[in-house]
Chain A
Amino acid sequence: MDLTSLTIDAARSAVQERKTTALALAEAHYARIQQEDSQIGAFLTLSKERALEQGDRIDRMAAEGKPLPPLGGVPVGIKDVMSTRGVRTTAGSRILEKYIPPYDCTAVARLEAAGAVILGKMNCDEFAMGSSNENSAYRPVRNPRDLDRVPGGSSGGSAAAVAADMAIVTLGSDTGGSIRQPASFCGVVGLMPTYGRVSRYGLIAFASSLDHIGPLAKTVKDAAIVLRTIAGRDPMDSTSADVPVPDYVAELDRPVRGMKLGVAKEYFGEGLDEEVRQAVEGAIEKLKGLGCEIVPVSLPHTPYAIPTYYLIATAEASSNLARFDGVRYSHRARGVKTLSEMYRRSRDEGFGTEVKRRIMLGTYALSAGYYDAYYLKAQKVRTLLTRDFDAAFQKVDAIVTPTSPTAAFRLGEKSNDPLAMYLADIYTVTADLAGIPGISIPCGQTREKLPIGLQILGKHFDESTILRVAHAYEQGA
């Protein structure tokens, strides 16, 4: 049995039936990390002690014949923006280089309570700000499918680790596409749940009205299992919704025949790579073949999504990142004489260029005299973008689009042009702004063997439908 190519159910059953052990599974993944990750750079910190302790606990349960929880013995990775008690959490930033959280993120605690074995922390763009993982303060992540290419971002380490069999599933976070776009670039499944579906308690905040936690996985079913585990109200996060959590896994096999899928022309316009277009159109044909009805819909404000996103996200980031002041837990500059100098120099030394750029843009957009013209204007356009989806979902059950306009680009290709980098998120940001769920699944590859992603967007709290469509496509493909 190849221990590093299992799904969640296969791994859990193998441990339950004593065909292997949770410790052996963890060791096999650590061996794989040892062998592969010097080239890829997906992990920032390994949490071996915690992993082996949990593996031992699961193995004792299995030895006693007790039924294992849904993720019993499953090796997972956690994006380094989620707090892990006793395990260094950097958010990909120098400013948190030495930060050891005293508590766990709720999503992490729920995964571990369900038996998952946490291997370590995944590399990412600094404070989840980026679309290529080149903004990590530690090292860029490389795409396992082509080491000259980026894995996408900001959950690049989370996507690359799953693609390279260094973890069975990982958690990522999505503020403008940061789960779905890297999933697309690396050829794995990435699910962004509805806003409020998963608690963000313990997630290092980037933009609080846009941040989501979700899984990256090898199969749609694995993503459904993880979502079922981490979803639901958490009294520690007032934005977590008190909405019942369905059994996403049980609903996967319900037929998709007769389902109405929207296709919006705004997602197939200028800038879409021809090979990506063909693959996505091919996928839509396959869904039609599975009995889905394809319905044209219009999302007319789509061209305004990126400017809206970059005002709202940066405004919220400028406020959220004010907490890194060199007093309680972040880097402090040496040799400073006054409090003000300490703030400035500590933040200057601790933050990278893209983070500073976004803090500056957000602070500018919120500053006196510009608030109405920029921040308030963006909030109003956010309403229009959300209404576009409301109108479309009157007619259809889900919407299918490309996840990204291109396959993975080369390292360095866009790193000196912030605007070009922002446009990599053009098909993903609108779902974050509207708070609707979205999933990216592999739907073919380019001539250069680079993965292409199909995005399926759904109604608020209707992850079941997009998971079902994704599962049907995956099984049929």
Chain B
Amino acid sequence: MKVTEKDVAYVADLANLELTGEERTGMLRDLNCILDYIDRLNELDTSDVPPMAQVSDRYGVDESKQGSERFAYASREDVPDGLRKSLPHAEALANAPDPDEDFFRVPKVIER
């Protein structure tokens, strides 16, 4: 078994999930089952294979350049006024569960 109950609690914490006791048991079983299946990737020797992060690497990238210059194809001229207008204040707040007139409100972050 790869994943332990402790791992499930740790990963849930990283992912900002609460998970009930029942959910944790199910998660433990499912993650182990899926990871067992995923283990077949170790049949392949990939020591000389470069990783592929995204398909866009395959078009437009200038391999002779370094860093962000490689992705110059995706850049565009700056548009000082923006490609579209910013949302009006009220519209930006319209879907918030607890806004006041100006801001998104959240529970207290720092306890005094």
Contacts and interface: CB of A to CB of B under 8 A. Distances in A.
Interface in A174-218: 195-196, 208-209
Contacts of A329: 95-96
B47 to A, nearest CB: 9
A337 B31 contact: no
Interface string A398-426: 00000000000000000000110010000
Interface of B: 3, 7-8, 10-12, 14-20, 23, 26-27, 30-31, 33-35, 37-44, 46, 49-56, 58-60, 73-74, 76, 83-84, 87, 91-92, 94-98, 104, 106-109, 111
A322 B16 CA distance: 8
A418 B95 contact: no
Contacts of A384: 44, 46, 49
A198 to B, nearest CB: 13
Contacts of A328: 95-96, 104
B46 A377 contact: yes
B8 to A, nearest CB: 7
Contact of A102 (B15, B50, B87): B87
Given A383-B51, A435-B58, A303 B83 contact: no
A460 B59 contact: yes
Contacts of A330: 97
Given A327-B96, A338-B109, 7 more contacts: A196-B59, A235-B83, A239-B74, A307-B38, A322-B15, A345-B18, A384-B46
A347 B58 contact: no
Q: DSSP class of A's interface residues: helix, strand, loop or mixed?
A: helix
A356 B76 contact: no
B51 A379 contact: yes
A180 B39 CA distance: 27
A304 B54 CA distance: 18
Interface string A300-334: 01011011101100000010001001111111100
A195 B30 contact: no
Interface in A230-246: 235-236, 238-239, 241-243
A344 B49 CA distance: 39
Interface string A365-397: 001000000101111111110100000000000
A339 interface: yes
Nearest to A364: B11
A353 interface: yes
Contacts of B15: 318, 322, 359-360, 363
A343 B58 contact: no
A295 interface: no
Nearest to B16: A343
B31 A361 contact: yes
Give the most central of B10, B30, B73, B87: most A CB within 10 Å: B30
A241 B60 contact: yes
A356 B23 contact: yes
Contacts of B19: 348, 356
Nearest to A363: B15
A208 B97 CA distance: 27
B18 A383 contact: no
A63 interface: no
Nearest to B109: A339
B104 to A, nearest CB: 5
Contacts of A343: 16
A379 B104 contact: no
A341 interface: yes
13 contacts: A102-B94, A195-B56, A326-B97, A327-B104, A329-B95, A338-B111, A347-B16, A367-B10, A380-B50, A382-B52, A419-B37, A435-B55, A460-B59
A101 to B, nearest CB: 8
A259 interface: no
A283 B74 CA distance: 41
Contacts of B10: 367
Nearest to A383: B52
B18 A102 contact: no
Contacts of A242: 60, 73
Contact of A332 (B52, B94, B97): B97
A102 B30 contact: no
A194 B91 CA distance: 34
Given A99-B95, A304-B41, A348-B19, A380 B14 contact: no
Contacts of B87: 102-103
Nearest to A311: B38
B25 to A, nearest CB: 12
A340 B11 CA distance: 15
A54 to B, nearest CB: 21
